[in-house]
A and B are shown apart, each in its own frame.
Chain A
Amino acid sequence: MRTTTRRAAATLAAIALLAAACGGGGLDAEIPTADDAQDTDDTDTSDDGDDGDDGDEADGGTIAGDLVGAGATFVNPVFVDWILDGYQATVNPDANINYQSIGSGGGIEQFLLEQVDFGASERYLRDDTLEEARETRGCDAIQFPIVFGSVTIAFHDEFYDGLILDGTTIGDIFERRITNYNDPAIQALNPDRELRDEDIIPVHRSDGSGTTSVFTTYLDLDDEVEGWTLGNGTEVQWPSGTIGGQGNEGVAAAVQQNPGGLGYLNQAYVLEQGFPQAQVINADGNPVFATLEATTVGAEVAEIPDNFQFDILNIGGDGFPITGTAWVFVWECGYDDTTAALLKDFWSWAVTEGGPQAEALGYAPLGPSLQERVLDAIDRINSAE
């Protein structure tokens, strides 16, 4: 069993390198930078004012050094924006931070194999993984949430914009128990709408993805969803009659090209592209559009335990119910001083100053009380020994 892991880990590492070399990050890296040059300029000015506050880490000076991170593609746009247009552009030009968006699975692997300085994932590390990590490094792995993002339901046809769905109907659609838009269950949620007799073509991610993980975790655990049988994960066994697309782009293309198409997409992507989308009923029975505000509300009402092992579920009020979190992983020991200082400085900056940039890209930043707790966690970097 042990050899299985090692071999797979080696393979994964090779693949990760390949993926990085193939420019998985390359294209992603360009887009947000170009799109949001305007927004970040605004942010930058405000950053300069607060710059002195961050100085206590490094006595006002900059920290020259390299950081390498790997993991979730879900957060790649915001990480790249933070690094290139935020932190390195305004706060610490001597830093050289490199984030490889190789996927959550790869991020966890590379982090546990100590091949990167930090990892990122849309899944938090479970207790058994943390235990394994402790054995590897001789100290704890620290994980903290960094941003929140929603998963929205997008339609092929403008006609369905604002259609109200709840967890159970979404689950039934993706498990093919509901195959037509005029299904009584959908009509019951939309009593005032004329629905057409049209086949639904559900579109899911064909690649393993954090978006799928967030989406299926909602469908799997939420008390309001009945009859979901596919479980949850970055990849589940979708039934026959659904279709897959690679990446958000692939799902978007499939939704746009198949009449009757309905797919789930990362909110950041939908905000950029402007898809017709569903309102989803939350725990309080309110139908909600996946706006940035609705995601932030969801993130704030969620109860977050001290170990940061949580899924955002049962969101009520004005919160959008299908919301996920991205975590960052770092170690409690074993970094050299420069790396540790740089890690602390960068992530503290991202938590306290990175909010506007995250929002511009469609992610909800941490609320004020959560910021404090995350900063405490960041302070634990290299504190052991």
Chain B
Amino acid sequence: MSDYRIQGETGEWEVVVGLEVHAQVTSNAKLFSGAATAFGAEPNTQVSLVDAAMPGMLPVPNRECIRQAVRTGMAIEAQINKWSRFDRKNYFYADLPQGYQISQLYHPIVGEGAIDISLDEKNPDAAGKRIGVERIHVEQDAGKLMHDQHPTQSYVDLNRSGVALMEIVSKPDLASPAETGAYLRKLRSILRYVGSCDGNMEEGSMRADVNVSVRKPGDELGTRTETKNVNSVRFVMAVVEQEARRQVEVLEAGGKIQQETRLYDPDRNETRSMRSKEDAHDYRYFPDPDLLPLVLDDAFLAECRASLPELPDAKRARYEALGITAYQATVLTAEVEAARWFDALLDAGVKPAAAANWTTSELFGALNRTGKDIENSPVSPAQAAELLGLIADGTLSGSLAKQVFEVMLETGDGAAKVVEDRGLKQTSDTGAIEAVIAEVMAANAEKVADYRGGKDKLFGFFVGQTMKAMGGKANPAVVNEVLKGMLGESVAS
């Protein structure tokens, strides 16, 4: 049970949220034509006669788009419908050349599934919640209209028209902005793991329609509104909050919620009603007569399943079983690129706990500082493995390793080479260490006496002095050993 509530004047209100996420399918060509799908091309250069809805044109579905939808369904443990059908959704708009969108209403390709979210992503022990997914279906994306290029005309670019979309419809199980954000982030992560959508909301390859209603606890579901085409997680969460508050205000003032379509204005942080595009949304859905029913055979389904990578939840569980902390496991598996990088590090033989510690603090720290993401990491898993190997075999102390890492980041050189070039090996030569400690003790006779007299905290002073005198290259464990021997015990009188 979520405990998020909106405080109204007449009491507390619950929020009920459902998300319809439109995710552009990663494929080379469009859903029903051979035109390319790459982002950013010159207008109307990725448009076939089919996408332009020229007279006599016909759709033929792209197997890869179907495959990606099935793989996505499998990743959320959804029912895969071996028999499904395409339907036409009829309406008139300049970005919809056919005058209808080919979609799937009556018999979608994927049925019910679920996505597990954490109610507090920063707390690995936080409770989880299972959010139901109603269905996933495949449909055509529309083109783009530009309104600001000309005073009296809008310009139509059909490059995006016909690109495959997966519409992923959640059940109305979300109850707060935080849950909605967590769901969207988790969904995005799964899509990127599966490789069926790049989840890039700024570029528009993933957008959300946010359905919001409010009710007093225990009441029936209220009337919902739909805020369309929200293109960031932050905005989606803001929409939930703003729209829920707006609805509470309306209802408490005695008004009714209109079932309508709204748009989010990020500059004003508010939703507003859209001018209606279509008569009361009478889309006159009917099965597309140009497309026979879609039938998936067992071989196809088996290949889809076999092609799935280890998914985030499973990977997190595996890391934890290897001794990595729950928090680190969450961090490492949040994004598929980081997980892949880390898996490569493990494959190179680095012990899991050490690998996780180093990656989450040193590597991620460096990437944050330099503003890079892991795909552009200046240090590869192989290079990191080499560095961590030098720590494990005693060549480098932890602090020396940090120094080496800094140089590696700058120069791109491998760890061994850096150590070699700059003589950064740590020394475990007891003789040399003894000699230096002797000098330190000689230069600090009073402190020696104080230590022996009971001020045991001075031990750290001697360690520091020794390390400094040796340019940081002494093996700290050996220094400790030898120092203990040479200082003797610290005994209070």
Chain B binds chain A: no
Write the residues of chain A forming the contact surface with B, with a CB cutoff of 8 angstroms.
none
